[in-house]
Amino acid sequence: MRSIFTATCLSLAMFSTGSVIAADTAKVATTEEATKLIQDKGYICLTCHQVDTKVLGPAYKEVAEKYKGADEATVARLMKQAKEGKAADLVWGQVPMPPNPTLTDEDAATIVHWILSLAAADAKGAEVKK
C-alpha cells in the first residue's frame, strides 16, 4: 500500500512539473499569428482592443504592463475573463467586456500569453533604444 501511495505522489509530481516546464518553454504567438487567429476564428477581441491604442477596452500593451510577471492563477483568471466576459470596473472603464462563448481554452491560452508577452517585447525595445 505504501509503495502505491509513493508511486502516485511521484507521478503527480512528475506531471505537474512537466506542465510547468511545457508552459515556460511553449512558443508564444507573434502579433501577426495572434491577430490572424482572432480574425480567422471570428473572435470579437479586436472590436474593442488594439495592440497600442485604447479603443473601448484597454490597449493590449496596457494589459501586458498591468499583469507583467503574472503567475499561472492570474493567467487562468485572464483566460476565464476572455471567455466569459467581465463587468465594467473602475480599473479599465465603464464598458463591460462581453463574453466570447466560442473561444476555446487553447485559443484563450494562446491569446492571453501573447498579450502578456507584449510587456517583455516593450522592455526589449526600450533596452535597444538606449
pLDDT(112) > 90: yes
Domain boundaries along the sequence of the chain: 28-129
- Positions at the binding site: 45, 49, 97
Residue set of the binding site for heme c = 45, 49, 97
**Each residue's pLDDT tens digit, 75-107:** 999 999 999 999 988 778 888 999 999 999 999
Tens digits of residue pLDDT in 27-77? 899 999 999 999 999 999 999 999 999 999 999 999 999 999 999 999 999
CA 76 to CA 58: how far, in whole Å?
A: 19
- From the number of C-beta atoms within 10 Å of its C-beta (0-12, 13-18, 19+), residue 9 rates as exposed
| Predicted pLDDT at 34 | 97
pLDDT band at 10 (very low <50, low <70, confident <90, very high): very low
Pick the CATH number of 28-129 from 1.10.10.60, 1.10.760.10, 3.40.1160.10, 1.20.120.1200: 1.10.760.10
